[in-house]
């Protein structure tokens, strides 16, 4: 019984440590990247998706500064966003390759 309590205590400490490290390592998106991604998505046709006003885009940047979209919170337009952004090049600012970034994007209705 005592052994089980020790194991559970160790697991709890590890879980809290990992979640704290993850929460504190929120990478920042360079303003130039935000501008470039917005330009890539500027003429995205959302006429079939009138109810979508914004989307959260999870992406990483691989060597060479290329974008790879991991996922979005709007599965209906995820394919459109991936086709617009995947393997597009961003300005070479300091970044950690293969780090996950999240960018909120709002769409203006015309």
Residue 99 lies in a domain: yes
Q: What is the pLDDT of residue 80?
A: 94
Establish if 4 belongs to a structural domain: no
Nearest-10 Cα torsion for 94, 96, 98, 104 = -60
pLDDT value of residue 108:
79
Sorted by sequence, the CB contacts under 8 Å of residue 74 that are 6+ apart come out as: 49, 52, 55
Predicted confidence at residue 15, as pLDDT, reads 47
Tally of domains in the chain: 1
Residue 16 is assigned to a structural domain of this protein: no
In a domain, 76, yes or no: yes
Q: 13-17, 50-54, 78-82: which has the minimum mean pLDDT?
A: 13-17
Tell me, yes or no, whether 42 lies in a domain: yes
**Domain presence at residue 14:** no
Residue 50 lies in a domain: yes
| Residues 56-110 pLDDT 10s | 999 999 988 899 999 999 999 999 999 999 999 988 777 788 989 999 998 876 6
Q: What is the pLDDT of residue 18?
A: 46
CB-based contact 91:73 (threshold 8 Å): no
Over 80: is that where the pLDDT of 17 sits? no
Provide the domain limits for residue 81. Answer: 27-106
């Amino acid at each position: 019984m005592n052994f089980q309590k020790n194991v559970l205590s160790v697991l709890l400490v590890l879980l809290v440590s990992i979640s704290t490290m993850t929460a504190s390592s929120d990478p920042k998106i360079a303003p130039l990247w935000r501008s470039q991604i917005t330009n890539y998505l500027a003429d995205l046709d959302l006429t079939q998706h009138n109810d979508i006003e914004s989307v959260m885009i999870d992406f990483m940047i691989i060597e060479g500064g290329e974008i790879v979209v991991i996922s979005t919170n709007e599965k209906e337009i995820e394919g459109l966003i991936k086709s617009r952004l995947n393997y597009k090049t961003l300005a070479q600012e300091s970044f950690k390759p293969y780090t996950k970034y999240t960018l909120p994007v709002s769409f203006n209705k015309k």
